Structure 1
Amino acid sequence: MNTLLDPAILFFVFGVAAGIFKSNLEIPRSIAKFLSLYLLMALGLKGGFALAKSGMDTSVAISLGAALAMAFLVPTLGYALLKNRIARFDAAAVAAAYGSVSAVTFVTAIQLLEAGGLNFGGHMTVAMVIMESPAIIMAVLLANANRQRLAQQGQGSAGGFSLRKILHESFTDGAHLLLIGSMIIGYVSGEAGKTMMQPFAGDLFKGLLAFFLLDMGLMVARNFAEARKTSGFLLLYAAVGPWVHASIALSLAVVLKMPVADAAMLMVLSASASYIVVPAVLRYAIPEANPSLYFGLSLGITFPMNILLGIPTYIHAAKWALG
């Protein structure tokens, strides 16, 4: 499929190859952090502009509510399943990656829907952005709670467990706050803001995304040896989990009587895993987690599986259940 020849994805592959061959190619950390923050700002703006254009009505509210529910449910299930099988910091990060979404998977699904004559609501683009946040919040909450737990066991000097402190740290984390703030700014500024920000948030996006994925490819290669030591359970989770998540999303869509195309998009979003926003946040918010796990599983297994098999199946299932 042409998506697999996307230059940004190929730069990731190139980064992995460079890392495997132990090249001295390296993206300076200050530039890598800028790229992460840029991507968060651009995605937030895109969501805000889309929400300002679509407006709100009952059907939109129902679809966004379903997306928000899945955004909390998927990472909750993932963490509950993984926390006793791998390190808890890694469990929180992997759960966040699978609770969040893949923009490239989303765009591919749009193309397939349009080719099949199905028109989805424009608000589902907003759903994509909304579904980025809850999993990140939960991951940072869980990581902070784990740090407090370790401190109480004598592995640190932190004080007692403080929910207020954890909530404050989680909701004011700089990278995640930038995503939310950018979305609000995009909504308030609307179409005029979109026109003004197009050179920054639109024209530059693809190139800087490629640069970001090059850096992530290098990171995955550097952590590959450690990732190979993990059990096959994580590989099974990466391959089977998305189908379970999509099935739950379809059940919810049937109960809410969502339109076929919107239901298909909800399934796609629920089954996808983030390799942009979540790595951008977690590499700084949860440095204890291994990037080769949450990034490698989502992009190396779940992404191609969804592109080749998942999306057509999700669309067919939505037609069968709601058509």
Structure 2
Amino acid sequence: MDPIIAIATTILTQIQQPTLAFLIGGMVLAALGSRLEVPEPVYKLIVLLLLLKVGMGAGIAVRKADLLALAVPALGAALAGILIVLLGRLVLLRQPGVSEMDGMATAGLFGAVSASTLAAGMAMLDGAGMAYEGFIGALYPFMDIAALLTAILLARMSAERKAARSVMPQGGVATMTMGQGGGTGHGDIMREILVDTLKSPAISALLLGLGLGLLARPEAVYASFYEPLFRGLLSLLMLVMGMEAWSRLADLRKVAHVYVIYGLAAPLVHGLIGFGIGLAAHHLTGFSAGGAVLMAVMAASSSDISGPPTLRAALPEANPSAYVGTSTGLGTPVAILSIPLWIALAEALIGA
């Protein structure tokens, strides 16, 4: 009975958190027929400020880290983000009724990182007296950006292939000419989609913030402007996504069970991937047991900050009911509850 009570308490706590509470509030307003709306220019400004803040915070963390000690875990974190998205694509897109965009957005959000779940993992390690590297906070942008870019790139490549098939003459062969040079083939298509993805407003803002944090000294404006506004802006974003989610909820009803199963199982599988990479880093570089735990925590988590605005801007066709509801409503509680499992594994295989 105790585990059931613990799960129910954690889910209730998550519902009361601003991220999910404002999402549900937006859905309730839409269900009641409210005419409340956030103008599109205001929404775009909110997304811009949020992503600049996330990017700058990541860049500042990376700049302050020991780059030599950071290299192997950072590559491992990026690899984990990519593997999680590829696994999610393999699982979700094989399920009947799951659209390409919804599946890839969900996989991308689960591949990205929840800063709040990472903070919960650090607090549990501190309480258990298990040491970890000081640069751990700088690892999350590597997993985060790798996962989001992979998900967006794969989704757009699929959309391009579908568009090409739709214009293919019956019995003919479709070719696509990319650029002025007249080059054809998958390499050209992938290159153009990658460039287009990097130029998209969401990814551009995220990368700009990362560059500013790395190469400039934006701490003053970051602390005085972006940090104080962050939670309020995120709540407004969740309100908008909640209203949008309700309007598209009917699209999700037939495949809701798929997302429930995925939301419950994925954090455990992803955590094992992250722990395995952390264990490999331990054997290669002496990465700590606590570091391996936090690598698992990051992999098990799903983004509640950078992911939703990035995916909403880059993949507007995707249904927020699928990717935000699955990750925040189910994935986050499971990820938090799984932290003791990764601590136990680290103690058994590495030692405190």
Provide TM-score, normalisation by structure 2: 0.83
Structure 1 residue 47: Cα displacement: 0.9
The amino acid across from 1:208 in the alignment is: L
Match for residue 249 of structure 1? 274
Give the Cα–Cα distance (whole angstroms) in 2 for the partners of residues 101 and 156 of structure 1. Answer: 40
The amino acid across from 1:298 in the alignment is: S
Note the residue ranges of structure 2 that are not aligned, 5 or more in a row. Answer: 1-9, 177-185
> How many residues matched?
319
Structure 1 residue 268: Cα displacement: 0.9
Q: Check whether the contact 1:264–1:315 (CA below 8 A) recurs between aligned residues.
A: yes
- Structure 2 residue 234 is matched with structure 1 residue 209: yes
**1:114-170 per-position Cα deviation (integer Å, ceiling 9, x unaligned):** 222234323221211222211222222222212221222225999615222112112
Match for residue 339 of structure 2? 311
**1:7-40 per-position Cα deviation (integer Å, ceiling 9, x unaligned):** 4443333223323333223222222222122111
Match for residue 33 of structure 1? 44
The range that moved more, 148-157 or 276-285, is: 148-157
Match for residue 174 of structure 1? 201
Match for residue 89 of structure 2? 79
Structure 1 residue 242: Cα displacement: 1.1
Give the Cα–Cα distance (whole angstroms) in 1 for the partners of residues 112 and 140 of structure 2. Answer: 9
Q: Check whether the contact 1:51–1:187 (CA below 8 A) recurs between aligned residues.
A: yes
Q: Check whether the contact 2:20–2:329 (CA below 8 A) recurs between aligned residues.
A: no
Q: Check whether the contact 1:3–1:108 (CA below 8 A) recurs between aligned residues.
A: no
Give the Cα–Cα distance (whole angstroms) in 1 for the partners of residues 317 and 310 of structure 2. Answer: 13
Q: 1:64 aligns with which of 63, 74, 99?
A: 74
Match for residue 328 of structure 2? 299
Match for residue 165 of structure 2? 153
Match for residue 183 of structure 2? none
Q: Which structure: larger Rg?
A: 2
Q: Secondary structure at the match of 2:138?
A: helix
Structure 1 residue 78: Cα displacement: 0.9
Match for residue 95 of structure 1? 107
Once the two structures are aligned, what percentage of the paired residues are identical?
A: 29
Give the Cα–Cα distance (whole angstroms) in 2 for the partners of residues 206 and 186 of structure 1. Answer: 20
Q: Secondary structure at the match of 2:38?
A: coil
Match for residue 43 of structure 1? 54
Q: Secondary structure at the match of 1:175?
A: helix
Match for residue 187 of structure 1? 214
The range that moved more, 119-128 or 172-181, is: 119-128
Change (3 A) 1:171 1:236: same
Q: Secondary structure at the match of 1:165?
A: helix
- Structure 2 residue 308 is matched with structure 1 residue 286: no
Q: Check whether the contact 1:14–1:217 (CA below 8 A) recurs between aligned residues.
A: yes
Give the Cα–Cα distance (whole angstroms) in 2 for the partners of residues 104 and 255 of structure 1. Answer: 25
The range that moved more, 62-71 or 153-162, is: 153-162
Q: Secondary structure at the match of 1:132?
A: helix
- Structure 2 residue 352 is matched with structure 1 residue 320: no
Q: Check whether the contact 1:250–1:267 (CA below 8 A) recurs between aligned residues.
A: yes
Q: How does 1:198-277 map to 2 (within 5 A)?
A: 198-230=223-255, 232-257=257-282, 258-277=287-306
Q: Check whether the contact 2:19–2:304 (CA below 8 A) recurs between aligned residues.
A: no
Structure 1 residue 231: Cα displacement: 5.0
The range that moved more, 179-188 or 219-228, is: 219-228
- CA RMSD after TM alignment: 2.3
Provide TM-score, normalisation by structure 1: 0.90
Q: Check whether the contact 1:45–1:201 (CA below 8 A) recurs between aligned residues.
A: no
Q: Secondary structure at the match of 1:25?
A: coil
The amino acid across from 2:124 in the alignment is: L
